[in-house]
Structure 1
Amino acid sequence: MTLITEAIGEGDWRGDEVSGRHDWRIRLGAAHRVELRAAVAAVESRGLELVDFAHEEFPLPTLGPILHSLVGELMNGRGFVLLEDAPVAGLSERQCEILALGLGRHVGRTAPQMEGKHAQHVRDLGVDPSGSTSRSYQHSGRLDYHADPNDVVALLCVRPAKSGGLSCIVSSVAVHNEIVRTRPDLAEVLYQPWWRDRRSGDGPDSFYQSPVYTVNTAGRLRTSYGPDYMRSALRGAHVPPFSPAQHEAMELLNRLNNDRRFMLAMDLRAGDMQFLNNHVTLHSRTKYVDHPEPDRRRDLIRLWLNS
């Protein structure tokens, strides 16, 4: 058996230790909101394409340095930050996208998502979660803990749901270390390749393999986990069923991710923007119920960022 050791770093936190603290929250002031509205208006007045404008074209004289400082906390610190009170009220959909992108580009480089969009709306589109091309963010059901594919995922809440839709996060470092301490045999299984599903169709290109845990050249833990896409990979004709050890490893990982000792729940309100380091943080969402009126339905704008 390969010797697997505990990971180190500030990304090793527990929900029951940080839930009562406020050092991971940054509340924007009135002057910051004025800056943001002016920056949104400047981008809109120039007719800049959403994919094109840089952070220099979204000037934030006082808020910008605060956002730049988040990079250290995200990539070398705890791995998550919550901005509060961004001025989304009264903004159009495009203006909210400009706001999200402007904030995000002061933290990192935005990356394209579906159909090349750099600002992806997370809404209930009523898709069948088991569909071969459906995406997890397109329905209102519960999402298991997972990591998105880039360095950082950011979510700007434009409107919350009528009820539910809590954003729950967990330190994948803390969970990894608990598994290493208590079940080193299963930790080894999680360092081995697992089949994944891109959900790009039914052909063989939709399926690939990668481990849940790896260690980068700097000796830091990197986590890649998405149980929905790992289970749906079994639809591939050439993909074998989970081994008993894989079943047990996934059950343990899911149980620890949902353990109240480890997880932290955030009830995102309009104007909240959450930033998460995907390498050391997993996130999930509880099931939600939407308002019947279309203009009140839950809407979050997702960015993928590279540091």
Structure 2
Amino acid sequence: MAVVGLASTVPYFPSDQQEQSFWETIPKSPPDATRVPQGFSKKLSSPLAWKADDIAHRLSAYEVQLEAGDVVAVESALGAFKGYSEISTDTFPLPKQLAQRLKNVSRECYGGVGFSVVCGLDPSKYTAADNVALFAGIAAHVAPGRGFVDRKRESARCRPPPQCCIREDTGFHDGESYNAEIMGLYVLESGDEGGKLALSSSFSLYNELARTRPDVVETLAAPWVLDTFKDYNKYPPLRVPFLHQSGSDKVIFRFSRYPMTGFQGLVRNPALPIPTKAQVEAMDAVQFMAAANSIRVPTGSGDIVFINDQAVMHARDSFRDGTGSKRHVLKMFLRDPNQSWPVTGPALEQRQKIYGPNRDDGARAEQWWTDFEMGQEEEAPTNG
């Protein structure tokens, strides 16, 4: 049977009419028997499967506030680290109680609501290099494994190049075509206006899709051809699912519209397969359902947001820079091996690309971007 494709370009932002049409496809009385692809759960039971109405009024419960004494301890650890070349919990030592609070951030990300915010730093007090070290040092106590954030698999910390900075709204996604277990975002400057972070439970999304549109689950679990928008000799298109199994009680979303639609001047290669009608419906379903069950997390200068990028989708409102304040956010990909979820197949390959060795002898060497340099934009991933 022929696969139905769409000849016209699929927009990154679906229209209001598309949204109305989508909600009309949701049955008012879903069938009692849920049919999902073999091996997938019919329903995920987990604190990660939250509803926005249940947690929006208590976001402060997911914050870790650094008091004055904590900041002194962090700055002391920064001073101790300067005698070393590799950041770890040993070279960035913190008092036991503070270290335990940061470890609880990891537990919240993997087994709680899937996100937490560490507040209390003042980035304006530190140099660019010191801010990177502070971020990495605190992150090491949350999740000790660091992932590569660039396509060359060299850089462990990303200062997004100006060309990659998206000022408009972004759709809900789980990062790039391969991404993190835990994503860390350190807000150095928040800009003049807007830029609020939106979060939505992927587990809750999965449950709704399994209950009302199991055909979408099936489509998401099948391979998709994703454009890399790079030199195909170095970075050929990927053929991976957007939805992966993780044991018998978890799923992992690896979702983003832009490799299928293009975004911000990036045009999907017309030689690649045209998105099918089922794929467009699946992308729209993710966007509309995620937005309907989303919360806004206010962030300001000095906040470090940790997000389970496997189970929580994120988006961002548009923002505007001021004359004296330009939005500046550092990003890291993190992993706690003691809490990591089991994966196989393409998801395992993606994980190894990020967290595995990058040298022929099995070693791992990291570079750190503290300032933008020409050429970084070629290797930097694109969000959306």
TM, length-normalised to structure 2: 0.70
- Aligned match for 2:249, one of 214, 219, 231: 219
Q: Which moved more, 1:2-11 or 1:20-29?
A: 2-11
In structure 1, stretches of 5+ residues that fail to align are: 128-134
Which string of whole-angstrom CA distances, capped at 9 and with x for unpartnered residues, describes residues 166-202 of structure 1?
1111101111111111111222111111122233324
Residue 7 of structure 2 corresponds to: none
Displacement of 1:217: 2.7
Whether contact under 8 Å (1:141, 1:288) holds in the other structure is: yes
Displacement of 1:41: 2.3
Residue 107 of structure 1 corresponds to: 142
Asked if 1:14 corresponds to 2:51, the answer is yes
Q: Distance in 1 between matches of 2:303 and 2:310?
A: 22
- Helix, strand or coil: the match of 2:239? strand
- Aligned match for 2:94, one of 54, 60, 64: 60
Larger Rg belongs to: 2
Q: Distance in 2 between matches of 1:76 and 1:40?
A: 29
Asked if 1:306 corresponds to 2:318, the answer is no
Query: How has the CA–CA distance of structure 1 residues 234 and 188 changed in structure 2, closer, same or farther, with 3 Å as cutoff?
Result: farther
Displacement of 1:237: 5.1
Displacement of 1:234: 7.5
Q: How many residues align?
A: 288
In structure 2, stretches of 5+ residues that fail to align are: 1-34, 337-384
Whether contact under 8 Å (1:82, 1:272) holds in the other structure is: yes
Which string of whole-angstrom CA distances, capped at 9 and with x for unpartnered residues, describes residues 207-228 of structure 1?
1111121111353111110111
- 1:51-130 → structure 2 map (5 Å cutoff): 52-61=86-95, 62-108=97-143, 109-114=145-150, 116-122=154-160, 125=162, 127=163
Q: Which moved more, 1:214-223 or 1:297-306?
A: 214-223
Greater strand share, 1 or 2? Answer: 1
- Aligned match for 2:172, one of 116, 139, 145: 145
Residue 131 of structure 1 corresponds to: none
Q: Distance in 2 between matches of 1:40 and 1:6?
A: 45
TM, length-normalised to structure 1: 0.87
Which string of whole-angstrom CA distances, capped at 9 and with x for unpartnered residues, describes residues 32-70 of structure 1?
1111111122223x2x44xx2212111111311111122
- Aligned match for 1:286, one of 309, 317, 320: 317
Residue 190 of structure 1 corresponds to: 220
- Aligned match for 2:268, one of 208, 232, 235: 235
Structure 2 residue identity aligned to 1:80: F
- Helix, strand or coil: the match of 1:235? coil
Query: How has the CA–CA distance of structure 1 residues 152 and 34 changed in structure 2, closer, same or farther, with 3 Å as cutoff?
Result: same
- Aligned match for 1:160, one of 163, 186, 190: 190
Residue 307 of structure 2 corresponds to: 276
Displacement of 1:112: 2.1
Whether contact under 8 Å (2:260, 2:268) holds in the other structure is: no
